[in-house]
Amino acid sequence: MSTAFLSGGGEMGALMRARDWHASPLGTPAGWPPALKHTVRLMLGARHPMFLFWGPELVQFYNDAYRATMDGARHPAALGARGRDCWTEAWPIIGPEIEDILAGGPATWHERKLVPLLRDGMLRDAWWTYGFSPIEDDGGIQGVLVVCTDVTEEHQNRLALQTLNLRLEEEVAERRRAERELAAAKGRSDVALQEVSRTSEQRRRLYETFLSNSPDLAYVFDLDHRFTYANAVLLQMWGKTWDEAIGKNCLELGYPDWHAEMHGREIEQVKATRKPIKGTVPFNGTFGRRMYEYIFVPVIGPDGEVEAVAGTTRDVTERELAEEAISRNEQRFRSLIEASTQVVWHCGPDGSMEADSPTWRAYTGQTYEEWRGFGWTDAVHPDDRAACLAHWRRCMAEGRVYEAEQRVRALGGEYRWTAARAVPIFNEDGAIREWVGTTTDIHDRRQAELDRQRFVSLAERSEDFIGMAGLDLKPFFLNQAALRLVGARSYEEALNTPVQEFFYPEDRAFIRDEFLPRVAREGHAETEVRMRHFRSGEPVWMIYTVYVIRDADGRPEGYATVSRDITERKLAEERLRQATVDLLDANGRKTRFLATLAHELRNPLAPLRTGLDLMQLPGASQEALGRARAMMDRQLRQMVHLIDDLMDIARIDSGKIELKRERVALGTIVGAAIEGVMPMVEAAGHDLAVALPEEPLWLDADPTRLAQVLANLLTNACKYTPGGGRIALAARREGGDAVIEVRDSGIGIPPDALESVFEMFSQVSQNIGRAQGGLGIGLALVRSLVQMHGGTITAASAGAGQGSTFTLRLPLASLATAPAARPDGSERGEATPVESGLRILVADDNVDAATMLAAVLTARGHQVTLAHDGEEALASARADSFALLILDVGMPGLSGYEVARAVRAMPHLDGALLAAHTGWGAEHDRSEALAAGFDAHLTKPAGLDEIDALLARLCGASFD
């Protein structure tokens, strides 16, 4: 964005533009908020003193008019500084008010308020008329704008006028008292009366002498804007006598119309507000055209009303001219430094700067206050500062010339290399009196030297091919990397080989006839080309960049190249191309998977929908309803199986699945797998043969996961074998492995698909045109689980229609011992009799799910209380006792975890069993439930077996 809002603005505009804002809390001006930009623009264009505190850090901005009220110790360091750090002496007065406005308080205004400030190192009384206003945007109040006027001088003049008025009033009162005394006494001495008159006249002469001899113009207006008093210097400036001036207004005294009209408005304002007013104005009088600074104050009469307006005016022409001269000198010095990089300065014997150096200020942008003393070191680069000062001290101690090179921060904020030289000037006693020095910008020269050194270093150490050859294409320089890249035995061999012979034979004509002529025409060119390895003859792919070398007169005298080996990149590009092909293939498989997933999830939904409709028919028989329930149970289990497979793949891919290993017999795992698939085998009319060795084969494995592996293999065999087929599972020992084979007489697997069947979203049936359902993730899951157990799995088939064989190898356990007993002394799978008539709390924001679960529990003879959010569940738990609480973990208001933690703190539910009921079934979900105080974890949808097992645990089973 533009920074035009910082244009103009006098000295403060220039300082804001020159300042490096990167390190400030606001960042660069281009990124400032619009409200800040607009306020700064307004402030820089205003002639009235204005100050701005912005943001939480109260970063400060102010204009030229306000800068005039600041001393050298404060300005320009205050620009961009934090307000609390800058105005420590005044912060107890102004700080609370600023904080109140930032918090949303109203704008404020103060007239002639005492705010003491540090000036010239001392705390001095200062009176201010000021107001604080909030600056806000859509985000709220962002800053505080201060409009202020330093009325210290006005206040002091007002006090002086008040003192004068008081003395005049005292004089009048004294005269009146004397008159009363004379009237009452009627006989007092005339001598006493004359003494009073003499004293009064003496005071009048005193005041008149003071006002007549003051260099300032003093005057009094009546309420009709006419002069009733003008001191001698004012009459002289007008070129008029008392009688010619008194009683006339400004217009009648020759003031320009605009000037007279302006003073008329100001007199009326003082009368109306009873407050002073200040201004600066030019005037052409007998002293010539001069600049005057004036103040009008009200004169309050005995009745408390304004009876006149008094004023004083001071000639400030010299001050204005001096400021203008300073500004012109600054411009001249800046122009000088732009034309020359020479900076001249002198300092005290210890290196402390006292005398100003405009050239240094113009070069660095430091103010005199920042430069003086040892402030000049702030412009030296931090890395060079310590060495610079140490060298300076050595030169002082030895009385020798100081010469050094260091980086100095230039006006634009860039550090540039400079050469400093300082000569000591000695006193008669041999002590150093002062130093006279120069600082010369050598950045460009040094940069050229550094560039030359970098090139030399590049040529010596670079891994790129760097070489130079004449116009005859004979090399005359090659770096070591060039020799290595082309396999040259020696430097001489490489230099004696013409440039064109460095390239692969098929590319030489292009280099000779097309590329080098283009380099000659355009001065440089770049291409990708193959160089030739001298020993093996293999191509070496290079980015070949060539430049024309010219002599001092600009005539071509040869070629130079800095070229890079991109052989690996070329190989990577080929790999990337292949990866793109693979990715497109994977994306296609993913698309097919999503379509298959939608199909597979709809398949069970259709019979479930039909079963529900059948149950609602009034004439349905109990036999039909029984078949419908059995069918719905099978379809629901199929959906759960699909979802479980998806979750398992996700857990394996994310590394969140953990094996619960134990020493287990292979026969136990096979029995569990067969039990799960027998309904499918029987429904298809298959013949299932199982052959296990007589000796037990012990595995160190997760029995649940291995049973899942064998069940998936048997399920696949059932699905891809036509009805009445043969399926066989056989196991044997081979060395230290258990080998399990699952064979079928099914549709077989094409040879090119034997490996891809284990990839995600791959289905054998797609390769032979027969759709059997499934998501194409079962075998991918099988392979992942087998590999987690340290085993392998392979597929074999004689082809389409020839059946398939899956061979699984798992390492046997090192010791064939029986499994250890459970800690509670029971065997896995034992159930404890269920206690009937239990009080149970069911909480779930899914009303249908909660109602159906309550119906199942009620059918089992239990008393069930329902809740549909966390607050309701917690209220029920506080009000009643329950043996079992089944809580959905994702309820609104309070989650199930929060309710569980609260329940665990209730003494009357100390013996209750807590079960988490959730659709999240990963291991870390179970761990989180355990940490929250749950005893059990049910993954939705929970079946009757899981619910009955949960009820059985009320008699003492532990969290599983």
Contact 320, 281 (CB under 8 A): no
Closest CA to 383 of 402, 408, 401: 408
Distance CA 489, CA 510 (A): 27
Cβ neighbourhood burial of 288 (10 Å; 0-12, 13-18, 19+): exposed
What end-to-end distance do the CA atoms of the chain give, in Å? Answer: 62
CA nearest 947: which of 829, 824, 786, 834?
834
Instruction: At 201, list the tokens.
Output: 């006249």
Residue 435 contacts residue 465 (beta carbons within 8 Å): no
Question: What domains can you pick out in the chain, each with its CATH number?
Answer: 4-150 (3.30.450.20), 155-315 (3.30.450.20), 333-447 (3.30.450.20), 462-565 (3.30.450.20), 567-657 (1.10.287.130), 660-811 (3.30.565.10), 839-955 (3.40.50.2300)
What is d(CA 484, CA 494) in angstroms, rounded to the nearest whole number?
10
CA distance 765 to 915: 42
pLDDT of residue 592: 56
Nearest to 135 by CA among 57, 55, 78, 81: 55
Give SS3 for 519: helix
Please provide the DSSP assignment of 119-168 as one string: ETTEEE--EEEEEEEEEEETTEEEEEEEEEEE-HHHHHHHHHHHHHHHHH
How confident is the model at residue 256, as a pLDDT? 94
Ramachandran sector of residue 685 (left: φ over 0; alpha: ψ -120 to 50; beta: rest): left
Whether the CB-CB separation of 147 and 131 falls below 8 Å is answered with yes
Q: What is the pLDDT of residue 139?
A: 87
* b/e map 132-161, b = 16+ CB within 10 Å: bbbbeeeeeebbbbbbbbbbbebbebbeeb
SS3 198: helix
Question: Can you list the residues of the chain whose pLDDT is less than 50?
Answer: 1, 192-193, 196, 337-338, 599, 765-775, 816-835, 956-960
Residue entry with tokens 């699984």:
808
- CB–CB of 929/937 below 8 Å? yes
pLDDT of 23: 85
pLDDT reported for residue 607: 60
The pTM of the full predicted model, rounded to 2 decimals, is 0.32
Contact between 914 and 885 (Cβ < 8 Å): yes
Given CA atoms 352, 354, 359, 361 in this order, what sign does their dihedral have? Answer: positive
Distances (CA, A) of 21 to 136, 391, 668: 22, 32, 74
Task: State how far the alpha carbon of 158 is from the alpha carbons of 127, 279, 378, in Å.
Answer: 12, 16, 45
Bridge pairing between strands 117-119 and 227-230: unpaired
Closest CA to 916 of 863, 817, 844: 844
C-beta of residue 528 within 8 angstroms of C-beta of residue 542: yes
- Say what the pLDDT of residue 207 is: 57
pLDDT at 608: 65
Closest CA to 546 of 565, 525, 518: 525
Q: What pLDDT sits at residue 697?
A: 93
Q: What is the pLDDT of residue 54?
A: 94
